[in-house]
Structure 1
Amino acid sequence: MTYEEMKSKACVASSRSKPKNEEHKIQCSCVRYFRLKYPHLRNMLFAVPNAARRSARNGAYMKDEGMLPGVADLILLKSNRFYGALCIEMKKPGEYQRPVQKDWQKECEANGNKYVVVRSLDEFIKVVDNYLKDI
Protein backbone atom coordinates (compact mmCIF):
# COMPACT_ATOMS: atom_id res chain seq x y z
CA MET A 1 0.00 0.00 0.00
CA THR A 2 1.40 3.38 -0.94
CA TYR A 3 1.75 6.31 1.45
CA GLU A 4 -1.05 8.22 -0.32
CA GLU A 5 -3.41 5.21 -0.21
CA MET A 6 -2.68 4.77 3.49
CA LYS A 7 -3.25 8.45 4.20
CA SER A 8 -6.53 8.56 2.25
CA LYS A 9 -7.76 5.43 4.00
CA ALA A 10 -6.95 6.96 7.40
CA CYS A 11 -9.00 10.04 6.51
CA VAL A 12 -12.09 8.09 5.48
CA ALA A 13 -14.88 8.45 8.00
CA SER A 14 -16.23 5.26 9.50
CA SER A 15 -19.92 4.40 9.28
CA ARG A 16 -20.47 5.19 12.98
CA SER A 17 -21.90 8.56 13.84
CA LYS A 18 -19.27 10.86 15.35
CA PRO A 19 -19.59 14.16 17.13
CA LYS A 20 -18.81 17.25 15.07
CA ASN A 21 -15.58 17.70 16.98
CA GLU A 22 -12.55 18.62 14.89
CA GLU A 23 -10.02 17.40 17.46
CA HIS A 24 -11.85 14.06 17.65
CA LYS A 25 -11.77 13.69 13.86
CA ILE A 26 -8.05 14.48 13.68
CA GLN A 27 -7.27 11.98 16.44
CA CYS A 28 -9.34 9.24 14.76
CA SER A 29 -7.50 9.81 11.46
CA CYS A 30 -4.16 9.62 13.25
CA VAL A 31 -5.01 6.36 14.98
CA ARG A 32 -6.33 4.79 11.74
CA TYR A 33 -3.19 5.89 9.87
CA PHE A 34 -0.92 4.49 12.59
CA ARG A 35 -2.68 1.11 12.67
CA LEU A 36 -2.49 0.82 8.89
CA LYS A 37 1.17 1.80 8.63
CA TYR A 38 2.44 0.05 11.77
CA PRO A 39 0.28 -3.06 12.25
CA HIS A 40 2.95 -4.72 14.40
CA LEU A 41 2.63 -1.80 16.88
CA ARG A 42 -1.12 -1.31 16.59
CA ASN A 43 -1.77 -2.11 20.26
CA MET A 44 1.08 0.07 21.53
CA LEU A 45 -0.71 3.32 20.54
CA PHE A 46 -3.69 3.97 22.75
CA ALA A 47 -5.94 6.79 23.92
CA VAL A 48 -6.23 8.09 27.46
CA PRO A 49 -9.91 9.02 27.96
CA ASN A 50 -9.48 12.01 30.26
CA ALA A 51 -11.68 14.49 28.39
CA ALA A 52 -15.09 12.88 28.83
CA ARG A 53 -17.68 14.64 30.96
CA ARG A 54 -18.47 12.71 34.11
CA SER A 55 -20.63 13.07 37.17
CA ALA A 56 -18.83 14.12 40.36
CA ARG A 57 -19.28 10.59 41.71
CA ASN A 58 -17.87 8.95 38.58
CA GLY A 59 -15.02 11.49 38.42
CA ALA A 60 -14.02 10.65 42.00
CA TYR A 61 -14.21 6.94 41.15
CA MET A 62 -11.94 7.42 38.12
CA LYS A 63 -9.43 9.47 40.14
CA ASP A 64 -9.34 6.73 42.77
CA GLU A 65 -8.44 4.31 39.95
CA GLY A 66 -5.53 6.51 38.88
CA MET A 67 -6.91 8.94 36.30
CA LEU A 68 -4.84 12.12 36.18
CA PRO A 69 -5.76 15.50 34.73
CA GLY A 70 -3.52 16.79 31.94
CA VAL A 71 -2.33 13.41 30.63
CA ALA A 72 -1.72 13.35 26.86
CA ASP A 73 -4.50 12.10 24.57
CA LEU A 74 -2.42 9.37 22.90
CA ILE A 75 0.52 7.36 24.19
CA LEU A 76 2.81 5.27 22.01
CA LEU A 77 4.28 2.78 24.43
CA LYS A 78 7.40 2.06 22.40
CA SER A 79 10.87 3.25 23.28
CA ASN A 80 13.43 4.43 20.78
CA ARG A 81 17.14 5.26 21.21
CA PHE A 82 16.35 8.55 22.93
CA TYR A 83 12.99 8.23 24.74
CA GLY A 84 10.97 5.76 26.76
CA ALA A 85 7.62 6.57 25.10
CA LEU A 86 5.91 9.12 22.86
CA CYS A 87 3.05 11.14 24.36
CA ILE A 88 0.83 13.03 21.94
CA GLU A 89 -1.55 15.82 22.91
CA MET A 90 -4.13 16.43 20.19
CA LYS A 91 -5.32 20.00 19.62
CA LYS A 92 -7.37 21.45 16.83
CA PRO A 93 -5.68 24.35 15.03
CA GLY A 94 -5.73 27.50 17.16
CA GLU A 95 -6.16 25.67 20.49
CA TYR A 96 -3.49 25.56 23.18
CA GLN A 97 -2.64 23.45 26.19
CA ARG A 98 -4.22 24.14 29.54
CA PRO A 99 -1.85 24.77 32.49
CA VAL A 100 -2.45 21.28 33.89
CA GLN A 101 -1.43 19.80 30.51
CA LYS A 102 1.77 21.89 30.46
CA ASP A 103 2.58 20.68 33.99
CA TRP A 104 2.09 17.05 32.94
CA GLN A 105 4.26 17.66 29.86
CA LYS A 106 7.14 18.88 32.05
CA GLU A 107 6.87 15.83 34.29
CA CYS A 108 6.60 13.50 31.30
CA GLU A 109 9.72 14.95 29.65
CA ALA A 110 11.67 15.02 32.94
CA ASN A 111 11.15 11.26 33.12
CA GLY A 112 12.66 10.48 29.71
CA ASN A 113 9.66 10.61 27.40
CA LYS A 114 8.97 12.64 24.28
CA TYR A 115 5.89 14.88 24.38
CA VAL A 116 4.42 16.64 21.37
CA VAL A 117 1.33 18.68 20.55
CA VAL A 118 -0.18 17.67 17.20
CA ARG A 119 -2.77 19.66 15.25
CA SER A 120 -3.15 17.64 12.02
CA LEU A 121 -2.71 14.22 10.45
CA ASP A 122 0.31 15.49 8.51
CA GLU A 123 1.98 16.66 11.74
CA PHE A 124 1.20 13.30 13.38
CA ILE A 125 2.74 11.40 10.46
CA LYS A 126 5.98 13.43 10.64
CA VAL A 127 6.28 13.09 14.41
CA VAL A 128 5.57 9.35 14.55
CA ASP A 129 7.69 8.44 11.53
CA ASN A 130 10.65 10.44 12.92
CA TYR A 131 10.20 8.90 16.36
CA LEU A 132 10.06 5.34 15.04
CA LYS A 133 13.04 5.71 12.70
CA ASP A 134 15.24 6.02 15.81
CA ILE A 135 14.36 2.57 17.18
Structure 2
Amino acid sequence: MTYEEMKAKYCGTNIRRKPKSEEHNIQASCVKWFRNQYPQLRNILFAVPNAARRSARNGEYMKEEGMLSGVADLILLKSNRFYGALCIEMKKPGEYQRPVQKEWQKECEAAGNKYVVVRSLEEFIEVVNGYLAEI
Protein backbone atom coordinates (compact mmCIF):
# COMPACT_ATOMS: atom_id res chain seq x y z
CA MET A 1 0.00 0.00 0.00
CA THR A 2 1.38 3.40 -0.94
CA TYR A 3 1.52 6.33 1.41
CA GLU A 4 -1.25 8.09 -0.52
CA GLU A 5 -3.51 5.02 -0.32
CA MET A 6 -2.84 4.62 3.38
CA LYS A 7 -3.49 8.31 3.99
CA ALA A 8 -6.78 8.12 2.07
CA LYS A 9 -7.86 4.97 3.90
CA TYR A 10 -6.97 5.96 7.44
CA CYS A 11 -7.23 9.74 7.35
CA GLY A 12 -9.85 10.51 4.74
CA THR A 13 -12.36 13.03 6.00
CA ASN A 14 -11.73 12.14 9.65
CA ILE A 15 -8.72 14.39 9.93
CA ARG A 16 -9.10 16.34 13.14
CA ARG A 17 -9.18 20.01 12.35
CA LYS A 18 -7.14 22.47 14.32
CA PRO A 19 -9.42 24.52 16.55
CA LYS A 20 -9.91 28.05 15.33
CA SER A 21 -8.06 30.41 17.59
CA GLU A 22 -10.17 33.56 17.13
CA GLU A 23 -11.70 33.33 20.62
CA HIS A 24 -8.27 32.56 22.08
CA ASN A 25 -6.77 35.61 20.37
CA ILE A 26 -9.54 37.88 21.68
CA GLN A 27 -9.15 36.56 25.22
CA ALA A 28 -5.35 36.78 25.13
CA SER A 29 -5.48 40.40 23.95
CA CYS A 30 -7.98 41.22 26.71
CA VAL A 31 -5.77 39.73 29.42
CA LYS A 32 -2.68 41.48 28.03
CA TRP A 33 -4.50 44.84 27.95
CA PHE A 34 -5.83 44.34 31.50
CA ARG A 35 -2.44 43.47 32.96
CA ASN A 36 -0.86 46.51 31.30
CA GLN A 37 -3.72 48.86 32.26
CA TYR A 38 -4.22 47.59 35.82
CA PRO A 39 -0.89 46.14 37.01
CA GLN A 40 -1.98 46.34 40.66
CA LEU A 41 -4.87 43.95 39.85
CA ARG A 42 -2.98 41.66 37.48
CA ASN A 43 -3.19 38.61 39.73
CA ILE A 44 -6.90 38.77 40.46
CA LEU A 45 -8.01 38.44 36.83
CA PHE A 46 -7.62 34.80 35.90
CA ALA A 47 -8.78 32.27 33.34
CA VAL A 48 -10.83 29.15 34.03
CA PRO A 49 -9.50 26.54 31.57
CA ASN A 50 -12.68 24.50 31.13
CA ALA A 51 -12.54 24.28 27.34
CA ALA A 52 -9.35 22.24 26.97
CA ARG A 53 -9.55 18.79 25.43
CA ARG A 54 -8.93 16.08 28.00
CA SER A 55 -8.96 12.35 28.25
CA ALA A 56 -12.02 10.82 29.92
CA ARG A 57 -9.95 9.96 33.01
CA ASN A 58 -8.43 13.42 33.26
CA GLY A 59 -11.88 15.02 32.85
CA GLU A 60 -13.26 12.80 35.62
CA TYR A 61 -10.30 13.67 37.83
CA MET A 62 -10.82 17.40 37.32
CA LYS A 63 -14.56 17.14 38.04
CA GLU A 64 -13.69 15.38 41.30
CA GLU A 65 -11.50 18.39 42.12
CA GLY A 66 -14.38 20.81 41.49
CA MET A 67 -14.29 21.70 37.79
CA LEU A 68 -17.75 22.76 36.56
CA SER A 69 -19.15 23.01 33.06
CA GLY A 70 -20.36 26.43 32.01
CA VAL A 71 -18.10 28.54 34.23
CA ALA A 72 -17.07 31.89 32.70
CA ASP A 73 -13.74 32.10 30.88
CA LEU A 74 -12.33 34.98 32.94
CA ILE A 75 -13.02 36.01 36.52
CA LEU A 76 -12.03 39.35 38.02
CA LEU A 77 -12.03 38.71 41.76
CA LYS A 78 -12.61 42.35 42.72
CA SER A 79 -15.80 43.71 44.19
CA ASN A 80 -17.29 47.10 43.41
CA ARG A 81 -20.22 48.98 44.96
CA PHE A 82 -22.75 46.69 43.30
CA TYR A 83 -21.17 43.27 42.70
CA GLY A 84 -18.87 40.77 44.38
CA ALA A 85 -16.90 39.87 41.24
CA LEU A 86 -16.94 40.23 37.46
CA CYS A 87 -17.31 37.06 35.38
CA ILE A 88 -16.59 37.30 31.66
CA GLU A 89 -17.57 34.75 29.03
CA MET A 90 -15.56 35.17 25.84
CA LYS A 91 -17.28 34.44 22.54
CA LYS A 92 -16.15 35.13 19.04
CA PRO A 93 -18.59 37.23 17.01
CA GLY A 94 -21.64 35.24 15.97
CA GLU A 95 -21.34 32.58 18.68
CA TYR A 96 -23.66 32.25 21.65
CA GLN A 97 -23.71 30.66 25.09
CA ARG A 98 -24.53 27.01 25.52
CA PRO A 99 -27.43 26.15 27.88
CA VAL A 100 -25.01 25.08 30.65
CA GLN A 101 -23.30 28.49 30.41
CA LYS A 102 -26.64 30.30 30.68
CA GLU A 103 -27.48 28.23 33.76
CA TRP A 104 -24.13 29.10 35.37
CA GLN A 105 -24.75 32.76 34.54
CA LYS A 106 -28.07 32.68 36.43
CA GLU A 107 -26.41 31.16 39.50
CA CYS A 108 -23.50 33.57 39.28
CA GLU A 109 -25.78 36.61 39.13
CA ALA A 110 -28.03 35.25 41.90
CA ALA A 111 -24.95 35.11 44.13
CA GLY A 112 -24.34 38.86 43.61
CA ASN A 113 -21.80 38.85 40.80
CA LYS A 114 -21.80 40.60 37.45
CA TYR A 115 -21.69 38.37 34.36
CA VAL A 116 -21.09 39.59 30.82
CA VAL A 117 -20.49 38.05 27.40
CA VAL A 118 -17.69 39.81 25.54
CA ARG A 119 -16.91 39.46 21.81
CA SER A 120 -14.04 41.93 21.29
CA LEU A 121 -11.19 43.74 23.00
CA GLU A 122 -13.09 47.01 22.71
CA GLU A 123 -16.12 45.52 24.46
CA PHE A 124 -13.87 44.07 27.18
CA ILE A 125 -12.21 47.45 27.79
CA GLU A 126 -15.61 49.15 28.10
CA VAL A 127 -16.94 46.51 30.51
CA VAL A 128 -13.85 46.41 32.74
CA ASN A 129 -13.38 50.19 32.91
CA GLY A 130 -17.07 50.63 33.73
CA TYR A 131 -16.97 47.92 36.39
CA LEU A 132 -13.83 49.28 38.05
CA ALA A 133 -15.12 52.88 37.94
CA GLU A 134 -17.87 51.78 40.35
CA ILE A 135 -15.44 50.91 43.19
TM-score, with structure 2 as normaliser: 0.86
1:103 maps to 103
2:42 maps to 42
Deviation at 1:121, TM superposition (A): 0.1
Following superposition, which runs of at least 4 residues in structure 1 exceed 6 angstroms of deviation? none
| Inter-partner Cα distance in structure 2 for 1:132 and 1:23 | 24
Unaligned runs of 5+ in 1: 1-18
1:24 maps to 24
2:125 maps to 125
| Inter-partner Cα distance in structure 2 for 1:20 and 1:81 | 38
| Inter-partner Cα distance in structure 1 for 2:119 and 2:20 | 16
Percent sequence identity over aligned pairs: 83
| Inter-partner Cα distance in structure 2 for 1:131 and 1:33 | 15
| Inter-partner Cα distance in structure 2 for 1:55 and 1:33 | 33
| Inter-partner Cα distance in structure 1 for 2:20 and 2:121 | 17
Deviation at 1:20, TM superposition (A): 4.6
Please say which structure displays the higher CA radius of gyration: 2
Pairing 1:82–2:79 present: no
| Inter-partner Cα distance in structure 1 for 2:85 and 2:20 | 30
Aligned length: 117
Unaligned runs of 5+ in 2: 1-18
TM-score, with structure 1 as normaliser: 0.86
1:6 maps to none
